Amino acid sequence: MTQNEQPARTRFAPSPTGYVHIGSMRTVIFNWLWAKHTGGRFLLRIEDTDRNRYVEGAEEQLKESIRRMGIEWDEGPDVGGPFAPYKQSERLALYHTYAEELLGKGHFYKCWCTPERLKQVNEEKQARKEPPGYDRRCRKLSAEERAAQEASGKPHVIRMAVPLDGETVVNDLIRGPIRFQNALQNDPVMIKSDGFPTYGMAAIVDDHEMQITHVMRADEWIATSPLHVLLYQCFGWEQPVWVHLPNVLGPDGKKLSKRHGDTSITDYLDKGYLPEALLNFLALIGWGYDETTEIMTRDELIERFTLDRISPSGGVLNIEKLNKFNGIYIRQLTPAELMERLLPYLAEAGLVSAEPTAAERARVEELVPLIHERLVVLSEAPELLRLFFETPTTYDQALLVPKKLDAVTTAQALTTATAALRDAPEWEVATIEARLRALTEELGLKVGDLFMAIRVATTGSKVSPPLFETLHALGRDETLARLERATASLGSVSAGP
């Protein structure tokens, strides 16, 4: 924190309506980094006032997603705090108290218009080619008409009386002053007929009550931000610093959506992108420390993160760059650390027990160096390591026999290789390599042909970890057994019908 930076209070305030979008996680990261950078506090608040969009289990899912990223909130659900509760459905009385205050001051008014009438108003406006919106009928009611409506007991909403002229200025930290003509604004609903507040009402009341200093959110909220500013002015409250973050874009430069592929942070975590790699990568979408520095630890990001380096333009979600980052972070893990991360994927694939034994753990740690340098995401590990847990039982002759050889020649080469490896004085990588390279000269075969035949014979595939290291990890007995089995399969082919 610099001398001029005061401890910030930031928040992430999602609605529990589904998975956490990767753009939303970037918002979490920016809010969390700024709070930590300034020595402040990061809050999680659940905005569950829209009961029509509420999804059972979504709240737990979003909390789990944030925690899986290694981010903890200082105040909020599960941890409490001085401004609890942090779930809006448990704060309804507070919103009604503030709504009554602004009703008394004339900034709010009750509206008894039915959904049918509102639909008719918009249809008539559309016919006249006018912008949709409420015609403010109930705002114009006389005291007597208002009293009659009150006495009727009809359902009503509470709306804000937006000024009919002048302008409202939103001072955004990234974009500067953004000016809106009040005459173009609608009178928004603040309290719905079911008694629940709308986002605009609840969020502003809670941000004030919880002493939020910086509101960092997606730039899609810019359009409604003048109404939020007006609400602050109605109450006479000091506004927070407004920071509308640039969009996360797909490769085509358009806002990231499902048509671009995975959009849930959970999808990326489940595939085996490391939380620390995702944190680093997402922090750089729309922000940068300098022109060259990319790989930064969690502590370095906290130390270096400042709001003045946030870009006003969107940043592209570049999967190739994410893969590069993930590979770098995987390489930074020790074999023991990588083994721990891989075990859940191997267990899901049935290669180790759900609760791995000590022997299974030791075996995986022994195999880790074979794939450590080439692993891009953790979910690739089961297929790369499967050959060490499952013995090939059948062979694709098209793979086993090199294109320029026949089955008989390949079988003879494998038989000779089996004998050479059986007689090796010790089972070490260097010895295995020396024996097989000498064999290519002895047999007059190309290195690629012999080695590919041995690779397919011992792994069942043309793609595997480095050959000599793979044979060493399989062990002498298993290697010889696989070579003999593959040779036998070629013998049956060469014998013909």
Catalytic residues: 258
Q: What angle do CA 389, 395, 399 make, to 5 degrees?
A: 110
Tell how strand 108-111 and strand 189-191 pair up: unpaired
Distance from C-alpha of 153 to C-alpha of 333, rounded to nearest angstrom: 66
Give how far the C-alpha of residue 117 lies from the chain's centroid of Cα atoms, to the nearest Å: 42
Of 191, 183, 179, 167, nearest to 222 by C-alpha is 179
Distance from C-alpha of 256 to C-alpha of 263, rounded to nearest angstrom: 7
Of 203, 67, 24, 69, nearest to 77 by C-alpha is 67
First-last CA distance in the chain: 81
By the 10 Å C-beta count (0-12 exposed, 13-18 middle, 19+ buried), 56 is classed as exposed
DSSP string, 40-89: -EEEE-B----TTT--TTHHHHHHHHHHHTT---SBBTTTB-TT---BGG
- Which residue type, as a one-letter code, is found at position 458? T
Are 154 and 224 in contact, with CB atoms under 8 Å apart? no
- Which residue type, as a one-letter code, is found at position 158? I
